[in-house]
Amino acid sequence: MGLTRGIIIVTPGPGDSFRKAKVCLPGRAPDRIRRFHQGLALVLLAAALGGCADAPPVVKPTPSTDVGKMEAWRDAELITGLSRDRFTLMGTGESMRPIYGDNTVLVIAKIDYNDLKAGMQVAYVTLAGMRVLHVLVEKDARGWRVQGLNNEGVDRERVTSANLIGVVYASFTTESGSP
C-alpha cells in the first residue's frame, strides 16, 4: 500500500509565513498510530535542533491527499480516540487558507488557557455561537487577539478562558469533492 494518508503539521515561519511538514501514515490503525507518534517526534526533534531554520516559507494551495472525506474522518477519529481531551471537526471557510480549507478534518485538543502562546492555532466560540479557528497573535488585558491567515486584520472578539475550545492537534486534508 502506498503512502496516501497524511497529517499536515504547521509551525510559524519567518515573518508572517508558516511552514508545514507532512507526516504520512502507512498501514492500518494500530501500526499507523504508532508511526504517527514516531513521525511527529522526529518532526518536533528536527525543529528543536534547528533542522527547519533554513526552510523557505510555504505559500501554496491547500494541501490535499488522495483520500475521501470519510476516510480522513476515520483517520482523525483514530487520533481523537487516544485521548478524552480531543475531538474531531470538519473545517470550512476561507480564513485559514492556504493551510486549511473546506476539505480539512481537524483534531482539536483541549488546552488550559494559561498554556496558550502566540502562533498557536486555536478554536473558539464567538458571541454569535460560531466556531472559529484562527491563530493567536498577542495577549492583552481582554484576552488573546486572533487572526485568520487569509484575513487582513485581527478578529474583533478575543479568545478568553470562557470561549476557548482548544488547539489544533492534527489536520487531515482530502481531495475536494470526494466522499
At 11, which CATH number?
A: 2.10.109.10
Tens place of pLDDT per residue across the chain (179 aa): 333 444 555 555 555 555 554 444 444 445 555 555 555 555 554 555 554 444 444 444 544 456 677 888 888 889 889 999 998 888 877 777 767 777 788 999 999 999 999 999 999 999 999 999 999 999 999 999 999 988 899 999 999 999 999 999 988 877 655 45
- Domain assignment present for residue 158? The answer is yes
Asked, for residue 157, whether it belongs to a domain, the answer is: yes
Domain of residue 17, residue span = 6-173
Domain count, the chain: 1
Considering the domain boundaries, does residue 89 fall inside one? Answer: yes
Is residue 95 included in any domain, yes or no? yes
Query: Does residue 87 sit within a domain?
Result: yes
Cα dihedral sign, 106-109-110-116 = negative
Q: Is 88 part of any domain?
A: yes
